[in-house]
Structure formats: structure tokens, C-alpha cells
Chain A
Amino acid sequence: MNPTLIVALLQQRARSLPRMALVFSFFTLPLMVLAFARGAGLAPLHVGQAFAVLLGTGIIGQDASSGTLQLLFARPVTRAEYVISRWLGAALAASCLMVAQLAIGAGLLAMHHEMPGAKELLLFAGEQLLTIFGMVSVLLLFSTMLPGIGDILALIVAGITGQALQLGAALFKAPWLARVGVELGRFVSPSLDLGALFGGGPVSWFEVVSYFSTVTLCVALAIVVMNRRELSYATE
């Protein structure tokens, strides 16, 4: 992990006006819902995935397309260091936004005397955190392979394909196709239901292993792809 690269990533993201406008919207709108609507609970704050997408889109592809990587990798910086710093930078920034939003949201709920319990808050924060790190890792992998913000397109296409496969499975009564669709969806949107995990019932180790293996695989593959990449002057 390289703090210089993380700070540079955050500055780069903060300089993008459309990106920041969307982040601001996803930060404030759910809070406004909580401020004016009663009984919504924490549901409007399920926007960790949006923060991850907004801060993670083009996480490597934009650097690769702009041609700045050439100068960067002439410095004593390993490609693995770069990939991990980008991943952590985007995921930590999205996590900070999520935590800040949750803190304000909890305050608003407390004003309405609807404050959730500490366990519920912790589980919510934990789930959002895992979703953010998972989503950024998937974007990271796609971003090493696609130029510009092609990663978000790949994510959308993969998500739609997963849904289409599940629909097709229902039409053709093909359970294996449904399974493929579910797994594809699980891959492009890794998350863990901590409520179910810590709800007192039997622990689904498959879910736990599936989440962590997806994240690890995405980050590891992103490093492999970057390590194999040759950097010419040609913009992509």
C-alpha cells in the first residue's frame, strides 16, 4: 500500500465534478428521506454500493487510457502496490462516506425516536463495508482489462446477463442455467448477509467463502493483468 497513490487517487476523484455531484446526491438524498419520512429505518441508507461504483469506476482504466501509467511505473512503484493502493483508496473513501452518512442517519432516526439498536447498526455498517470492498474489487478487475470507464459497462452487462440467465432458466426449466445466473450475479456484486450470519442460525460457510474468494480472486487477477501489461505510448 502506498499512501502517496491513495492521496493522489482521492484528489483525482475529488476533481471530477460530475462524480462529486453524484456522490453528493447519493449522500444527501437518503438523509433527506430519513429527515422527512417516518418509519423508514435504515433502508434508505443502502447506498454503499452506489458510493463504491461512483468512486471505483475507471479506477485503473482511466489512468491507462490517459497514459499516466508510463511515468508512474518509471518510478520505484510496483504494479501490485499500485493496484492495491487504488483498490484500498476507493474502498476506504466509499466506506468513510457510508459511515458518515450512517452516523448522520442514526442521529436523524434518534430525533424521531426510531434509533435502531447498536447490533443492528453494526451489522448494517459491516454489510455495507463488505459490499463496498467487494464491489470495488470487481470494478478493479474489469478496469485493468478495459479502457476508460469500460469497467462500469462490463459490470452492467454482466449483471443484466445474470438476470437474463435466471429468466431463461425459469422459461426453459433449466436449474443449471439459474445457478449460472445466480453465480454471475454473486460475482459482480459480492456481498454478505451478516444478519443471517449472526442471527443465531447455522452459519453458511459457503456464503462467507464465496464472498472472500471473489474479492481475493478479483484483486489477485487485477495484479496479474497489470503485471503482464506492457506500456506503450499508444492511448487506449
Chain B
Amino acid sequence: MRALDDVSLSVRPGEAFGIIGPNGAGKTTLLGCLLGLLRPDAGRIAVDGRPADDLAVRSVTGYLPERLVLDRWMPGLDFLAYHHALARLDPARRHDEAATALERVGLTQADGRQAIRRYSRGMLQRLGLAQALLGAPRYLFLDEPISGVDPAGVILFRKLLGEMRARGATLVINSHQLDQVERICDRVAFVRGGKVQSIETLEAGAAHARVLRVRWGANSDASALTPERLSTLGAGVGAALEELKPPEARFTVADDDGAAKLLATLLGAGVRVIEATPESGRLERLFVEPGKEKAGP
């Protein structure tokens, strides 16, 4: 069985690059190859012109694996100090940098003194990110970085990754959390069956049709809320009414511009729109296999 087949892609310096795809698509295998942990039977992987397993590359690489397996007897701070040493960072700053890394991910010094076996799933993930960020790496490879992290943690992770990008770091993120991928990444490779099916820039993604769920307040003009009227209003700006369940309706819009025009038209017609949310993210459509769009109940 081929885990990856004819994969060809390049990630630009300073870019946040996402890898998405269904389970078993080969995303983690691809990440393993990019890190030099797995060796492809054919082809070449270069990071900054060097082989992926070159020590010079690894000394500027941070990695957060999907299944974070740690030496569970180690206290969190010792674990960070251990990875600080493995990364060959300045021993004189080891203790301070380990403590700072711990605090950056929202863990306390008391947490750091606890053995890792006592950590919750979210704490483990935070510790994993802290070790990946040690030494401000130039390349960050993150496999399901926010898996098991609470909403406050997700916001913190996004902030930290934003800071890394501001420093010029290149991010490669493998995740099923499409909304987060959309918010963090510049481009996304969609992998299915071991092949890169498409590489999407997220700006261009805005041109794809999607369903917009519109909700209105009680003080809306009742005459504008009939199915016929809403259909006509939508059709005038290229949107199609899919479903009406007062106080909300679902419209298919062609793109961002279509969504803006629809909202303006509805407001102009006396519909007091209080909420408008896309029913699915821009990337979800990639997961619908050709010919299976209508599948389901």
C-alpha cells in the first residue's frame, strides 16, 4: 500500500501552511517525511536546501507530535530542560528559558514541578507546544496542535503561533480543526489517498459557494419574511433560499461578495438581521468527494 504517492509541494519561508484531509489520507506520514523520521522510497525532501534529517535543520526545528508520548516520570520543567539540552541551546539560560516556556503556554511553575503523568490531556498538549517553541525555531511542525485543548488554550495557541509567524517562523500544521486552519494558515494542501489533491490559498477560497445561515430579530418587517419575498430578494443578488424556519433562513451564496450583498438587501427590505454565520467553513467543501455531494439522509 502506498501511503503517499507523487506528492510535490513547496512551503514558502514565513508561511503558515496547513495539511488537511480525511483520516488515513497520509497527512501524518507526510509530516513524518518532512521531519526526516520516515524515508520516502523515491523523491527528495529539502528544508532550506538541506536534507530533512540534517542536524542543522533539526537545530532550528520545533515539532509537536500528534500522539504526545513523554517520559511520564519527568516533571514538566525537567522535560523542558531536557529538550533545551537536546536542542543544544545555551546551558546558562536553560532554567530561565524552560520556566519562561512553561509560562508562555499557560502552565504554572507548580505545574512544572509535577510529574508529567499527573497532567491532563490539555496540559500535556500545552507542555508539548512549550517544548516545540524552545529556542524560537525557524520551522515549526505541528501535528493536531489543539487536540484536547480548551477554548482558552486554543486562543492562546493561536496567539503564540501568530507571534512565531511575526518572528518569521515557517509553520506546517496538520489538523482536522478546519476553522483553526482557516484562521492560522495562508495556504492549505488537501491530501486524499496519499496524493495532494489541491493546494488552496485561503483568499481564493472565498470565491467558493457556501451556505449562509441568517437569523433576524422580532422587530423585522413581516411582509419581507415570506418564502416568496425572501427568494426574490435572494435571487436579486445571486443567492438562493434553501430553507426557511423563522426566525432564520438558509441561503446559498456564491462568494464573500454575494454574502455581503445579500445581507445589505435583507437589511434594506426591513429584515433586522442579528446574526449571519456560514454553515460550513471554506475548507469543508474539499472533503465532499465528487459525485457524493448529495449523499446523506
Are A and B subunits of one complex?
A: yes
**Chain A residues within CB distance 8 Å of chain B:** 2, 4-5, 8, 11-12, 15, 66-68, 70-78, 230-233, 235
Residue of B whose beta carbon sits closest to that of A68: B69
With a cutoff of 8 Å between Cβ atoms, the chain A residues found around residue B36 in the complex are 73
B58 engages A233 (CB within 8 Å):
no
Query: Which residues, 43 to 67 on B, are CB-close (under 8 Å) to A?
Result: 55-56, 58-59, 61, 63, 65-67
With a cutoff of 8 Å between Cβ atoms, the chain B residues found around residue A67 in the complex are 67, 69
B37 engages A74 (CB within 8 Å):
yes
Smallest CB separation, A234 vs chain B (Å): 10
Additional pairs, 5, CB under 8 Å, beyond known A68-B70, A77-B58, A232-B38: A4-B86, A71-B63, A71-B131, A73-B37, A74-B35
With a cutoff of 8 Å between Cβ atoms, the chain B residues found around residue A73 in the complex are 36-37
Instruction: From the candidates A2, A230, A233, name the one contacting B39 in the complex (CB within 8 A).
Output: A230
How distant is the Cα of A85 from the Cα of B209 in the complex, in angstroms? 57
Smallest CB separation, B23 vs chain A (Å): 13
Smallest CB separation, B265 vs chain A (Å): 50
With a cutoff of 8 Å between Cβ atoms, the chain A residues found around residue B141 in the complex are 74
Interface size on B, residues (CB 8 A): 31
A75 engages B66 (CB within 8 Å):
no
Smallest CB separation, B126 vs chain A (Å): 15
Residue of B whose beta carbon sits closest to that of A234: B67
**Chain B residues within CB distance 8 Å of chain A:** 28-29, 32, 35-39, 55-56, 58-59, 61, 63, 65-71, 73-74, 82-83, 85-88, 131, 141
Residue of B whose beta carbon sits closest to that of A71: B65
Smallest CB separation, B102 vs chain A (Å): 17
Interface of B is mostly: loop
How distant is the Cα of A4 from the Cα of B141 in the complex, in angstroms? 24
With a cutoff of 8 Å between Cβ atoms, the chain B residues found around residue A75 in the complex are 58, 83, 86-87
With a cutoff of 8 Å between Cβ atoms, the chain B residues found around residue A74 in the complex are 35, 37, 58, 61, 63, 65, 141
Instruction: From the candidates B37, B73, B83, name the one contacting A231 in the complex (CB within 8 A).
Output: B37
Residue of A whose beta carbon sits closest to that of B88: A76
B32 engages A232 (CB within 8 Å):
yes
With a cutoff of 8 Å between Cβ atoms, the chain A residues found around residue B59 in the complex are 76
How distant is the Cα of A90 from the Cα of B131 in the complex, in angstroms? 27
Smallest CB separation, A63 vs chain B (Å): 9
A76 engages B82 (CB within 8 Å):
no
How distant is the Cα of A4 from the Cα of B89 in the complex, in angstroms? 12
Residue of A whose beta carbon sits closest to that of B72: A66
Smallest CB separation, A58 vs chain B (Å): 14
Residue of A whose beta carbon sits closest to that of B86: A75
How distant is the Cα of A77 from the Cα of B36 in the complex, in angstroms? 12
With a cutoff of 8 Å between Cβ atoms, the chain B residues found around residue A77 in the complex are 58, 86
